[in-house]
Amino acid sequence: MTVTSPMDAGPRLRVPTNRLLLGAGYMLLSALLFGIGNTAVHWAATVMDPLEVVFFRNLFSLLWMLPWALTAGAPACRAVLAERRLGPYVTRALTTLCAMSAWFYAISRIPLPTATAVSFAIPLFVAAGAALILRERVRPRRWAAIFVGLAGVTIVLRPGAAPIDLAFLALVVHCVAAAGTILQMRLLSRRDNALVIVTFLGLLVTPMALVPALFVWTWPSWSVLGGLALLGGLLTLGQLAMTKSLSLAESSAMMPYDYARLPFTAFVAWIAFGQTMDPWGWAGALVIAGSALYTMHRDAADGRKTALERAQRA
């Protein structure tokens, strides 16, 4: 049995139901792993500087990926170097480091559910970046959805209700840098598979992250190192699960399931730290999620329309 998914590129493209269900399962698994992983980041940032946590997170993620990179993935990794295609990986590593550093700093000082709700604005920044940087056509309805989503961010943060400090500004920086990373990911994934992309990310970000970490360095205990190793494994598995989901169906069909991160994170943060989010935060999260879902729906609809026009011209 097959069904037409929301991400259909054309009127005749159908995706098997089992692929959609499997993709949804991987995305939900990714949301759960990121929820647990971000809770672990919050814990780690209470015992050491967030910049040092960034370094160890990437170091252990790289160690998790090395067995594959040195065996089955070696030919694909060598091809990137032989064809001198490392430049885009370097720029993506820089934006990833910026996004990760800002995120780790923010969630060390802001309740996890609140930070997670604001991070749902990332697809809105992706849509804006696609228009401004990649010169993709964005119609007025999508711009309206973007501004509605940003209004949702102000509902969550409520300027005036509490001082907007450096942690909240870091959260906004995270959203912008993460959007830039996703836009670059679109370009890289046209040529290389997910495992190659994740491996080179670790190879490049780890030494980059070491430089700022040295300025705040303190040696962690063995128990903290064990927790950091687990953290790296959880977030790497979450990243791979998300990538696998997006390989089974396009983002417009799969990304809505990523919003399960909020209830997962809220539950884990409540169990671990007693953190909660007030009704205003949940209302703002709904506004952000609704506008982001509408933006993805318009992306899918525009893709179908473009494919239909090309088919008619052919």
Instruction: List pLDDT tens digits, range 111-136.
Output: 888 888 888 788 778 777 777 766 66
d(CA 91, CA 276): 36
With 90 as the cut, is the pLDDT of residue 76 above it?
A: no
Please indicate, yes or no, if residue 273 is contained in any of the structural domains. yes
With 90 as the cut, is the pLDDT of residue 52 above it?
A: yes
Least trusted range by pLDDT, from 20-29, 150-159, 168-177, 297-306: 297-306
Residue 301's Cβ-side half-sphere holds a number of Cα atoms within 13 Å equal to: 10
The total number of structural domains that make up the chain = 1
Give the pLDDT of residue 205: 92
d(CA 26, CA 313): 37
With 50 as the cut, is the pLDDT of residue 7 above it?
A: no
Give the pLDDT of residue 96: 92
Please indicate, yes or no, if residue 66 is contained in any of the structural domains. yes
Q: Give the highest mean pLDDT range of 13-22, 80-89, 174-183, 267-276.
A: 174-183
Short-list 252, 277, 255, CA closest to 266? 277
pLDDT (tens digit per residue) in 140-187: 776 777 777 777 777 776 655 555 678 888 988 999 998 888 778 777
Please indicate, yes or no, if residue 164 is contained in any of the structural domains. yes
Return the percentage of the chain with pLDDT > 70, whole number.
80
Do residues 308 and 11 touch, judged by C-beta distance below 8 A? yes
Please indicate, yes or no, if residue 8 is contained in any of the structural domains. no
- The more confident residue out of 216 and 161 is 216
Give the pLDDT of residue 15: 54
Average pLDDT of 91-103?
92
Identity of the amino acid at 173: V
Whole-model pTM: value is 0.76
Give the pLDDT of residue 306: 60
Please indicate, yes or no, if residue 260 is contained in any of the structural domains. yes
Do residues 43 and 231 touch, judged by C-beta distance below 8 A? no
CA 160 to chain CA centroid, nearest Å: 29
Please indicate, yes or no, if residue 21 is contained in any of the structural domains. no
Give the pLDDT of residue 10: 42
Range of the domain at 125: 26-214+223-304
Please indicate, yes or no, if residue 18 is contained in any of the structural domains. no
Cβ-Cβ contacts under 8 Å for 266 (sequence gap 6 or more): 112, 113, 116, 275, 276, 277
Do residues 27 and 250 touch, judged by C-beta distance below 8 A? no
- The more confident residue out of 280 and 26 is 26
Mean pLDDT of the chain: 78
pLDDT (tens digit per residue) in 225-266: 998 998 888 888 888 888 778 777 666 667 677 778 888 888
Do residues 220 and 57 touch, judged by C-beta distance below 8 A? no
Short-list 301, 296, 256, CA closest to 9? 301
Please indicate, yes or no, if residue 310 is contained in any of the structural domains. no
Return the percentage of the chain with pLDDT > 90, whole number.
15
Average pLDDT of 48-54?
92
With 90 as the cut, is the pLDDT of residue 207 above it?
A: yes
Q: Which residues of 19-51 are buried (b: 16+ CB within 10 A; e: fewer)?
A: bbeebbebbbbbbbbbbbbbbbbbbbbeebbbb
Short-list 247, 241, 269, CA closest to 39? 269
